Amino acid sequence: MSGQAEGTTTASAPAGGTRPTPPTRRFRVTTPILLLGGVGLVVLLSAVRIVTGASDITSGGTVAAALGLAVPIGLAALGGLWSERAGVVNIGLEGMMVLGTWFGAWGALQFHSPWAGVVAGAVGGALGGALHAVATVTFGVDHIISGVAINIVGVGFTQYLSKLVFEKMPGGGTKNSPQLPEMGRLSVTFIDGPLRALEARQWFLLSDFAGILRGLTQGVSWFTILAILLVPVSYYILWRTAFGLRLRSCGERPVAAESLGVNVYLYKWAAVVVSGLLAGLGGAFLSIVAAGIYRDGQTGGRGYIGLAAMIFGNWRPGGLAGGAALFGYTDALQLRQGGVSVHALLLVVALLLAAVAVYQLVRQSRTVAALITAGCAILVFVVFMVTDTVPEQFTTFTPHLTTLLVLSLASQRLRMPAADGIPYRRGQTT
């Protein structure tokens, strides 16, 4: 009997006499986890609202403003996703957005329709994408150099076009266009009254959910709905179709893809043009919906913030949508009781940093990183306690500071496409 047990032990153990360690299970973010995290975030914001009295951090006006500010960032991020999944870095998103703002305004004025402006803005951005594709894919120019050049050319070209076209129109000038036709909006009117009344009660959690729901259902432009739908559409095309598989293979292993008959140049071209088209849509949104007029310098660096949202989202559509929502929300806070709202956000940041520190210590066993994060949490909390508001100069910098903070915390889990930014020439073997 003992011999049988000994034989069983010998058979199940490896030759060295030690058992192999089981593989570490990778944490996967599923839909229930995302929903639970969203509810937890609302609970946290509601508690902070009660403690600080900053009623605007979950109000319907703040949520509506955040949605409008997140759309151009999200479209730029989605454009970056298409390009970089095919292996082409697109720093020129800012310039393509600039082209989208001008062509969107021109199209809306020329054809007296905001939707004509949407199409024209997309075409203008796609032209910028085609220029980037010619330089990087066809001629092998460094991706960063080409992107920076497009940003410079986009600004100069639109200034020239404004002098040529808008200056001759009534109400226009060298720096701006006349007023543009207004885009239609969707409102679910029958729930507006009850939600507004519930939000005014300032009850814990219930009023916050009412404010969020009201911001998402009242006065939403049709362009916003189109932009939101582009996120799942992009996911389906890139991850659920043969076209998307071939495109992503060009960003991971272009040599292997070519050996299997994939036209790598064609797929990179298509991805970069679509990237410019999406960035152009983001620019058209700024001129047609957000402002109702074209202004010089209207993008305000949102193309770069879109790149940060894409990186934060780990080159995935859902992640970049969350990043765009985060940056849009922090940008909206400065418009709604700026100093008070951003001051309340400091408490939220301190609590989130404390939670990250606990996770790093308990689940990841990263003691040094946990101590650094905890130190930052204590510092932010001390700043919150010793101040009553945030200076106006700081509130305007909040979205950019959020970009730096988020990227520094998310840098450990990022995985870019393997061949992203690497020049590729047809016929190469490595």
**Whole-number Å distance between alpha carbons of 232 and 225:** 12
**Residue of 118, 125, 122, 119 lying closest to 154 (CA atoms):** 125
Q: Would you state the pLDDT for residue 11?
A: 43
Instruction: Tell me which residue of 162, 179, 167 sits closest to 287, measured CA to CA.
Output: 179
Q: What is the DSSP letter of 25?
A: P
Q: What are phi and psi of 396, to 5 degrees?
A: -70, -20
Q: What is the pLDDT of residue 338?
A: 72
191 vs 211, 218, 221, 396, 425, CA distance in Å?
Answer: 12, 9, 18, 33, 57
Burial of 356 (0-12, 13-18, 19+ CB in 10 A): middle
Q: Which two tokens stand for residue 86?
A: 């095919």
pLDDT in tens, 352-378: 889 988 988 888 788 888 898 899 899
Q: What length is written for the chain?
A: 430
Residue owning tokens 């600039």? 98
Residues 323/310, Cβ–Cβ less than 8 Å: yes
Distance CA 48, CA 352 (A): 12
Q: List C-alpha distances in Å: 373 to 257, 359, 367, 368, 382.
A: 42, 10, 10, 9, 14
Q: What is the pLDDT of residues 206-223, one digit of tens each?
A: 999 999 999 999 999 999
Please list the ranges in the chain whose pLDDT falls under 50.
Answer: 1-16, 24
Nearest to 271 by CA among 315, 228, 305, 302: 315
Burial class (CB in 10 A: 0-12, 13-18, 19+), 256: exposed
Give the relative orientation of helices 206-217 and 31-52 as an angle to the nearest 10 degrees. 110
Q: Which two tokens stand for residue 48?
A: 């902070």
Tokens of 429: 């073997």
Cα–Cα distance, 275 to 37 (Å, whole number): 30
Using DSSP's 3-state secondary structure scheme, residue 176 falls into strand
Please report the DSSP string for 291-355 in residue order: SSS-BTTTTTTHHHHHHHHHHHTTT-HHHHHHHHHHHHHHHHHTTTTHHHHHHHHHHHHHHHHHH
Cα(168)–Cα(198) distance, integer angstroms: 50
Q: What is the model's pLDDT at position 194?
A: 92
What's the CA gap between 131 and 258, in Å, rounded?
A: 24
Q: How far is 15 from 3, CA to CA, in rounded Å?
A: 18
